[in-house]
Structure 1
Amino acid sequence: MTPANPRPEGTAQDSVADSVRGNWVDRYAPAATRPYLRLSRADRPIGTWLLLLPCWWGLVLAMLHDGQARWFDLWIFGGCAIGAFLMRGAGCTWNDITDRHIDGSVARTASRPIPSGQVSVRGALAWLVVQALVAFCILLSFPPTAIALGILALAPVAIYPFAKRFTWWPQIFLGIAFNWGALLAWTAHTGQLEWPAVILYLAGIAWTLFYDTIYAHQDAEDDALIGVKSTARLFGDRSPLWLRRFLVATVVLMTAAVILASRGGDPIALLIALLGPWALGLHLVWQMTRLDVQDMQGLLRLFRSNRDAGLLPLPFFAAALLV
């Protein structure tokens, strides 16, 4: 769907409908850059956090696994942060290119840069390439196995925008893409992919199914009208039941990853590290107590609160390293 009066490419708009009010892009970014930064969701940082946190989980658990902390780990920590910002931006740009006709038909997304006419498809493709190339330069600083994993991650990123057209479970494809950093950061530290990282990756996918099902309920009515599939539409009134299942799976799988990563280590360190997945689980329980699928603003607040949920395991993992 093309807006009746599209804005010329590069011009500014007050904000995107679901952006954080008073965000830095709307307030401080030069007007000509705002459409591209909005295309990358720089005005909505939660997605960068959700992509980054599994990276940090994987890195700290890898350090706990082999009992080693090197100066290069600081670069992995920072490189993952920069890479998450860039690849989340590239992924969102790709998503908006592929969804430009759908977004124009959905109230929450019609104000995005492409359907609103602020950025052309050609301009969006150029912006995608710039972000991906800078991220690739960062990836090249990692060990060879991690580089290979990073390149392989492009496959689920490319597929995800199309998943809602052919499956009721597009959130699985999002989880596969968004939690890849757990594998990559672990491998960047250890030089090889091991089972604790794989189990942690599966925990992240379960977590993604939890938070993105909440997010998808915002668009359930519009999605039904245009034939877009999601777990929110699939589960309907049974969503709380399924969310509880994803909650349990997240905690159990992360607990298993911690146990495998700590095998043979100090039992006190293991007990401290195990508090991480349980702290995450308690936050997800708190979200369930406030879930109302008819409250659109409440759904968005709960979704955004998953930044805090995902941060909770890290201090426990880090404390376990000091034991």
Structure 2
Amino acid sequence: MSDTSARVADSTGNWVDTLAPQWARPYLRLSRFDRPIGSWLLLMPCWWSAALASGMAHDIRGLPLTIVLFFVGAFVMRGAGCTWNDITDRDLDDKVERTRSRPLPSGQVSTKEALAWMAVQALIGLVVLLQFNRFAIATGIASLLIVAIYPFMKRITWWPQTVLGLAFSWGALMGFAVTFGRIDLTALVLYAGAISWVIGYDTIYAHQDSEDDALIGIKSTARLFGAHTQQALILFYGVAVMLIGVALASGDARWPAWLGLAAFAAHLAWQIVRLNIADGALCLRLFKSNRDAGLLLFAGLLVDAVMRAG
């Protein structure tokens, strides 16, 4: 198989396809390093909670290291999760146009090789996790149960995006676990807001595959909401902004954090206005833009933390 044909359908022209050694490319594709948007989206709630918790503690001395560790952890654990997802979905992926070129269904790697690669990534993630306190370590390990069951949810429920939200929003708890050694109500409300955000943006993403999913019996909120997706996004994005706002109020956030939330909300509103579920390329662009939405909120929280620590 030529390297051009080995590329995943929606990720051509990235550094994995052009710069990485040939032998490493299938493994990097398993980890989605050719499509890092998912890692960024996993990272955003981690950074939100780290900044908000540091602001509440009026202490940012540990924040730079926490930001770096969360960055590394998010990328390797998302890679491990994607590898596990591809292992469990290898037969389904062969039936979907966008995913049949992934390393497992296309035969670039074997299942045993994928399992070994997943273990390597999980070990790196464990090394990162061990840099934190015991409560944070236990909190991080607890997320693995959700990660393990997520790939099976689209076979049994119309709401797999909710389970993804539980997993991808876990970082909203981690910042508080690292900073305070506990999870309080502010963290739980931030977590709930992040879950609602994930349901929204992953519904947009799932519209790329809705026709193929219908043919092979895969369930998703994209198929469930259908032509009513924009109304559903108004609900879920609206709830996300409201709950994050409650978390900010609970954490006594100052004006930079609220400005960040306003920019975040404006970005989500722009997505809803722009959405056309029949345009797969647009759905992908809007989905990816959520990294920028998350960074806007993080910027506000970070400035707030610095101001409160001064």
TM over 0.5: yes
CA contact under 8 A between 1:12 and 1:32: conserved in structure 2? Answer: no
Task: For residues 49-106 of structure 1, give each alpha carbon's deviation from its aligned partner in whole angstroms, at most 9, with x where no partner exists.
Answer: 0000110000000011121112x32221111100101000000000000000000000
CA contact under 8 A between 2:143 and 2:167: conserved in structure 1? Answer: yes
CA contact under 8 A between 1:12 and 1:31: conserved in structure 2? Answer: no
Which residue matches 1:286? 270
Q: Once superposed, what is the RMSD of the aligned Cα atoms?
A: 1.4
Say yes or no: does 1:67 pair with 2:67: no
> 1:1-323, aligned counterparts within 5 Å?
13-19=5-11, 21-70=12-61, 72-262=62-252, 270-323=254-307
Greater shift, 185-194 or 245-254, is seen at 185-194
Task: For residues 280-313 of structure 1, give each alpha carbon's deviation from its aligned partner in whole angstroms, at most 9, with x where no partner exists.
Answer: 1100111111100000111111111111011011
| Distance of aligned partners of 1:74 and 1:272 in 2 relative to their CA distance in 1, 3 Å threshold | closer
TM-score, normalization: structure 1?
A: 0.92
Aligned length: 307
Runs of 4+ displaced beyond 6 Å: none
What 5-or-longer segments of structure 2 have no aligned partner?
A: none
CA contact under 8 A between 1:164 and 1:170: conserved in structure 2? Answer: yes
Distance in 2 between residues matched to 1:35 and 1:122, nearest whole Å: 13
Per-residue deviation at 1:240? 0.8
CA contact under 8 A between 2:189 and 2:243: conserved in structure 1? Answer: yes
TM-score, normalization: structure 2?
A: 0.96
AA in 2 matched with 1:15: R
Distance in 2 between residues matched to 1:91 and 1:276, nearest whole Å: 30
CA contact under 8 A between 1:203 and 1:253: conserved in structure 2? Answer: yes
What 5-or-longer segments of structure 1 have no aligned partner?
A: 1-6, 263-268
Work out the percentage of aligned pairs sharing the same amino acid. 53
Task: For residues 115-143 of structure 1, give each alpha carbon's deviation from its aligned partner in whole angstroms, at most 9, with x where no partner exists.
Answer: 00001101000000000011101101101
Distance in 1 between residues matched to 2:70 and 2:24, nearest whole Å: 24
CA contact under 8 A between 2:264 and 2:294: conserved in structure 1? Answer: yes
Give the SS at the match of 1:307.
helix
> Structure with the greater relative contact order (CA < 8 A, sep ≥ 6): 1 or 2?
2
Distance in 1 between residues matched to 2:229 and 2:42, nearest whole Å: 24
Greater shift, 72-81 or 218-227, is seen at 72-81
CA contact under 8 A between 1:12 and 1:118: conserved in structure 2? Answer: no
Distance in 2 between residues matched to 1:314 and 1:240, nearest whole Å: 25
CA contact under 8 A between 1:182 and 1:197: conserved in structure 2? Answer: yes
CA contact under 8 A between 2:268 and 2:293: conserved in structure 1? Answer: yes
Distance in 2 between residues matched to 1:150 and 1:321, nearest whole Å: 23
Per-residue deviation at 1:13? 4.4
